[in-house]
Amino acid sequence: MDHFPTNWGNPRSEDVDSYNTYPVASNSGTVPHSVREIAGFGHAGGHPTSHTQQPVVTGTSVLGIKYKGGVMMAADNLASYGSLARFRDVERLHQVADFTVLGASGDMSDYQYVKHLLDSQMIKEYNADDGHTLATPNIYEYLWRVMYNRRSKMNPLWNTFVLGGVHKGEGFLGAIDLKGTPYQSPSIATGFGSHLAQPILRKEIENRGGEENITEEDATQILKKCMKVLFYRDARSMNKFQLATISAEGVKISEPMSVETEWAFAEKIRGYGA
Amino acid sequence: MFRNQYDNDISTWSPQGRLHQIEYALEAVKQGSASVGLRSNTHVVLLALKRSSGELASHQQKLFRIDNHMGIAIAGLVSDARVLSNFMRTECMKSKMMYDRPMPGSRLVSLIGDKAQINTQNYGRRPYGVGLLVGNYDEDTGPHLYECLPNANCLEYFAVSIGAKSQSAKTYLEKFAKDFGEIDVDALIMHGLHALRETLQQDKELNINNCSIGVVGKGQDWHVVEGDRLKAYLDQLESGVAPAASAEDLPQGEAMDTE
């Protein structure tokens, strides 16, 4: 194997190098430090700056729905490595504050980094010890700034986040994607869920005449139904998921659960069954 | 002048355990014209006496808007105050930008304290030559009044004054402070004017040119009382009539309701 990373993806011979990438590493010896910093050659080992261009270990859809008195969210416990169901006990719903939960789809290492950022912010607030804390809209704004800042550096955090919470007696539900686009709605579904679950969530809300007519029990059933649909049709999903409930009483994140599924029909699918 | 062996720089103690340069900076605050601050359970009022360098000169600015929920009154070097108010405005904008939250007053005051402290411990620096009264209204914790001095002391008060002859105003405020909690803004302003009047030199009077009033409180953004409204308060002060309780006459904060 070629252990020289700047050669990776390039022609093996330096005689065939139409992009003139070959001598990049050697620049570290001849170019002054200040120039390297500006030109972007400045990282350790003299390798060129690298940016995230694709997610690696990924989580699939996160769902969120407002109901009377709060917000409920759902995400399964799977972190995939490509199409491989690599990690099957990952918690993708994280309690950030007393009344705020973060749900993450997309790259799981970026999610862990953002969790760390938010937890650090909350600790900073706590240490100020002055009676102020960050409420859900404040955390949302901060998350938005982080995501937009990173996309502006052409190095995005490869996630779509869902932030759910309760603030001043009202439910709060918002999403932010890797480009830093904020979006608030009575129901939110990321990734595959935006195609498969969001229509169901919207219809359920519409049929009841608005989220104010949805009880906590209704919301649980609606989300379970959506998770079942996602498990049937999203090949990166898993029938093991958690629900987060945020209400005036605080945050409750359930133990992992599953839904009943029926696979008898699969026999009749050409190319799947017998 | 006073020859003192231990006042050449900020970072040398005197054998009595004093830092003379810091004390001189506190004197600079006392050279400035007086500022008065007082607060009820819903509002903070800041008042200041404005000097003019001559008949043909304008009056100095004593009140500065920091943000919708915050304003300051100063005594001492105006140029230092401008630097600090610029810092405060920047911090408030950062808070809005990063968290969509008005800067909590207590935190901003601690930041000023940190800045001022550095100037009291590092060789080659000088302390700020200005004292600040910071008035702010916080949605969660209500109205607050802070005093920030060059010695990096930042304290919260019910009522306080700084600047020339501010002790006279303090004496007035101490006498009436127990009433301030429940009274309305008009009454609070009248008390403030009475206190400010105590700081005047003999044969001088408060008028619309030499007097500034700033108000911030529940449902009211920071605003400076000017023109006819200011004149009405000064007329009341002159006639000695008790303050009328008509909150409707007060300027209203933008897009917020009052009570």
Contact call for A130 and B106, based on CB within 8 A: yes
- Residue A145 has, within 13 A of its CA and on its CB side, a CA count of 15
* B107 contact residues in A (CB cutoff 8 A): 128, 130, 132
Q: How many Å separate Cα A69 from the centre of its chain? A: 25
Q: At A189, is the secondary structure helix, strand, or coil?
A: strand
Spatial CA neighbour of B72 closest among B252, B212, B207, B188: B212
Task: Find tokens 């909690």 and name the residue.
Answer: B181
pLDDT score of B249 more than 50? no
User: Which chain B residues contact residue A128 at CB under 8 A?
Assistant: 107
**Mean of pLDDT values over A138-161:** 97
pLDDT at A37: 52
**Nearest alpha-carbon partner for B153 in B131, B173, B137:** B131
Do A102 and A258 contact (CB within 8 A), yes or no?
no
Could you write out the DSSP letters of every residue in chain B? ----TT-SSTT---TTS--HHHHHHHHHHHHSPPEEEEE-SSEEEEEEEPPBSSTTSPBPP-EEEEETTEEEEEEE-HHHHHHHHHHHHHHHHHHHHHHSSPPPHHHHHHHHHHHHHHTTTSTT----SEEEEEEEEETTTEEEEEEE-TTS-EEE-SEEEESTTHHHHHHHHHHHGGGTTT--HHHHHHHHHHHHHTTSPTT----TTTEEEEEEETTEEEEEE-HHHHHHHHHHHHHTPPPP--GGGSPPPTT----
Pick the more confident residue, B52 or A240. A240
The answer, yes or no, to whether residue B257 has pLDDT greater than 60, is no
R_g (Cα) of chain B, nearest Å: 19
CA distance B106 to B114: 12
Q: How far apart are CA A241 and CA B128, in angstroms?
A: 58
CB of B104 less than 8 A from some CB of A: yes
Secondary structure (3-state) at A196: helix
Residue B99, chain A, CB below 8 Å: the answer is yes
Domains and CATH numbers, chain A: 1-49 (no CATH), 57-253 (3.60.20.10)
Q: Is the Cβ pair A131, B99 closer than 8 Å?
A: no
From the list B98, B101, B141, the residue facing A145 with the nearest CB is B98
pLDDT value of position A147: 98
Contacts of A145 in chain B (CB under 8 A): 97-98
- In the residue annotation, A136 being an active-site residue is answered as no
Reported confidence tier of residue A272, pLDDT bands at 50, 70, 90: confident
Q: How far is CA B251 from CA A81, B118, B189, B204, in A?
A: 62, 40, 13, 28
CB pairs under 8 A between A and B: 26
Region of B95 (left: φ > 0; alpha: ψ -120 to 50; beta: rest) is: alpha
Does the structure show a pLDDT above 70 at B251?
A: no
Measure A271 CA to nearest chain B CA, in Å. 53
Indicate if the pLDDT at residue B39 is higher than 90.
yes
Band (A270; pLDDT cuts 50, 70, 90)? confident
State the smallest CA–CA distance between residue A153 and chain B in angstroms. Answer: 17
Asked whether the predicted pLDDT for residue A26 surpasses 90, the reply is no
* B10-35 pLDDT tens trace: 999 999 999 999 999 999 999 999 99
Residue B250 has pLDDT above 90, yes or no: no
C-alpha distances in Å from residue A8, one per residue of A47, B54, B111: 12, 77, 49
What interface predicted TM-score (ipTM) does this complex get? 0.85
* Reported confidence tier of residue A9, pLDDT bands at 50, 70, 90: confident
User: Which A residues in the span 131-150 are in contact with B, Cβ-Cβ below 8 Å?
Assistant: 131-132, 134, 137-138, 140-142, 145
Residue A52 pLDDT grade (very low, low, confident, very high; cuts 50, 70, 90): confident
* B144, B138 contact by CB (below 8 A): yes
Instruction: Write down the mean pLDDT value for chain A.
Output: 89
In this structure, the number of other CB atoms found within 10 A of the CB of residue B138 comes to 18
B99 vs A164, A259, B50, B174, CA distance in Å? 16, 39, 36, 39
Let me know the angle formed at the C-alpha of A186 by A183 and A191, rounded to the nearest 5 degrees.
55
Is B107 part of the contact surface with chain A (CB cutoff 8 Å)? yes
Best mutation target among A127, A141, A144, A149 (most B Cβ atoms within 10 Å) is A141
Residue A124 near chain B (CB below 8 Å): no
The tens digit of pLDDT for each residue in A165-213 reads 999 999 999 999 999 999 999 999 999 999 999 999 999 999 999 999 9
Q: State the pTM of this model.
A: 0.85
- The residues facing B225 across adjacent strands are B213
- C-alpha B73/C-alpha A76 separation (Å) is 56
Which DSSP category does A47 fall into? P
Q: Tens digits of per-residue pLDDT, A211-260?
A: 999 999 999 999 999 999 999 999 999 999 999 999 999 999 999 999 99
* Residue A246 token pair: 């945020």
